[in-house]
Amino acid sequence: MHEELNNFKRNKVWTLVEKPKECRNVIGTKWIFKNKQDEFGNIVRNKARLVAQGFSQVEGIDFGETYAPVARLESIRIVLAYASHHNFKLQQMDVKSAFLNGPLHEEVYVKQPPGFEDLNFPNHVYKLDKALYGLKQAPRAWFEMSMMGEMKFFLGFEIKQLREGTFINQAKYLQDMLKRFKMTELKGVATPMVTKCHLALDPNGGASRGGRRRSRHDRSSDEFASNAPRKSVTSRRKNKEVRENYKAMDSVSYSAIRLKNWYDDVPRDEEIAGRRYWCIEQEFIYKDIYEPMKNLRPMQAINVDILAVNDHFEDAIWVAGKMGLLEIMKIQCDYSPDLVKQFFATLAIRKDEEHTMEWMTGSTHCSATLRQFAGYLGVPVDGGRRLHGPQQTDKNALVHLYTSAGKIGQAKGLLPIYSQLLRFFRATICPSGGNNDALRGALVDLMHLSYKCARDVNEERDYTLDIMDFIFHEIHDAMVSRTTIPYAPYIQLLINNSVAVCDEDLSGYPLVKHHVKKAYKLKPVSSAVPAPDTFMRDARSSGFAPARHPDVPAMRKQVSRLSWFQRPLHEH
């Protein structure tokens, strides 16, 4: 800071004078601190710069022209190529006190720098004789330069001048980008895409618009400002008086999900209905929200009549039926991927007791409460235990499900019956539940409830699950995460029943036949290895593993020769 002020004195930049009475605009000053780095990112100098707050200048009074010629990037490349062709060694020059040598033609007064006020004349101001950083006319001022030696780092480029040629790279720029987005610890790959894949040619496709990749940029950076696409959103109110219009703000929201604006809490005279979701640059919104949802994961129904039957399969089906899940797991419905993607892209859930869901289907605004949703599926509401409630997961739940599960460490060896159940659940109602050794909390509760059903085969206990609450939270989690969109037949049923009320024509949306899982085979994978007999015998004696009742198959056959899970749905 003292060095900067000494440069002012040496270059005779200003003079301390009494503030003229006719002077109305005295420009403020501010200290700017910066670390200068070399091509390796090492700090070579700490610099303090006193700048003028030029935004307070008045054109025609405090300044006239502001234009200054600058070098284009193309010109710099031409110079480097020309020097490389003739084997020239380029030297670099540094600007010392860059704007402090240009004389000014206007009378400009600035305040004394903060922290360095004159004790004898605290109310005096400085009259500028030469340009100061931050002034509008400062770029036009001439300055002197000094030699720095061979050019190595210039405008973000690392330049290596060798006998073989001149090489340019931006390694430091890439390192700064990795630090900005906190990606320095990530694992690097040779090619940032799949190398062995078939890229089909789309003759009707258009050029890529970047999509969500643009959100990774720091919009305040110079690099983004120089390369960002020039997009503007116009409004029909642009020629009218500028004022806060909450209805207009609501109508231009991209979607009702994951958007929290400051005007959401502003009281309104009347309720705003019929929110428009696709009103600003529809193609841009389609690319940014709708297109990334390509990772649609279709869920599967199970057909118990044609599945391979074994002891573990029969037990798993019996447990699922006792919990009241089999009706949902057997639903089949052809679906439209476009409608399912639009459902999750525009879904909004109200914070009310009815859990009202709102979404767009085609051009129709649809809504349904959780109770209406349950009516479409024929499932009772509030009928059983809620897995997403405030209760905590049983700390010993994993001990009952795995052959090896300690309080601390990884759980291994999911017992065969629960491995079969997990395959059912992940294929029908819970696609993002994790693998066998890393289950989500709600799925751990679901598996633990299954364990209780398998354990208490002789007791008439109610282990019914509140399936609608479970489905609602699965939809909510998929809406928030947007990593994988789980399709389940009940989503298409919800869309069909809601659209039927609005008389929307969906003939333009082709349907895809719903896939039915026809065979399950218990493969001896590492995460589902049956426990040794000695371990299971000790576990059963200690109460840590479900003891299979010897008469479980016989008990089910006594009920009816036709197994209950093969009956039509209306008989359950």
How do residues 32-55 score in pLDDT, each as one tens digit?
777 777 666 677 677 777 777 655
- Check residue 420 and give its pLDDT: 74
- Check residue 237 and give its pLDDT: 40
- Check residue 286 and give its pLDDT: 43
Both tokens of 329, joined, read 């797991």
Q: 121, 111 in Cβ contact below 8 A? A: no
pTM of the model: 0.39
Q: 471, 421 in Cβ contact below 8 A? A: no
Which residues have a Cβ under 8 Å from the Cβ of 309 and sit 6 or more positions away? Answer: none
| Long-range residue pairs from 452-457, CB within 8 A, at least 24 positions apart, any chain | 453/319, 453/322, 453/323, 454/315, 454/319, 454/417, 454/546, 454/548, 455/546, 455/547, 457/549, 457/552, 457/555
Q: Which residues of the chain have pLDDT under 50?
A: 56-68, 97-102, 134-144, 209-266, 268-294, 304, 306-308, 392, 406-410, 518-572
What's the full length of the chain, in residues? 572
- CA-to-CA dists, residue 501 to 30, 370, 420, 490, angstroms: 64, 16, 39, 17
Distance, in Å, from the CA atom of 204 to the CA atom of 174, rounded to the nearest integer, reads 35
Indicate the residue type of 372.
Q
- Check residue 557 and give its pLDDT: 39
- Check residue 64 and give its pLDDT: 44
Task: Determine phi and psi for 22, rounding to 5 degrees.
Answer: -80, -5
- Check residue 319 and give its pLDDT: 77
- Check residue 274 and give its pLDDT: 33
Distance, in Å, from the CA atom of 461 to the CA atom of 457, rounded to the nearest integer, reads 9
- Check residue 253 and give its pLDDT: 37
- Check residue 3 and give its pLDDT: 74
- Check residue 520 and give its pLDDT: 42
- Check residue 210 and give its pLDDT: 45
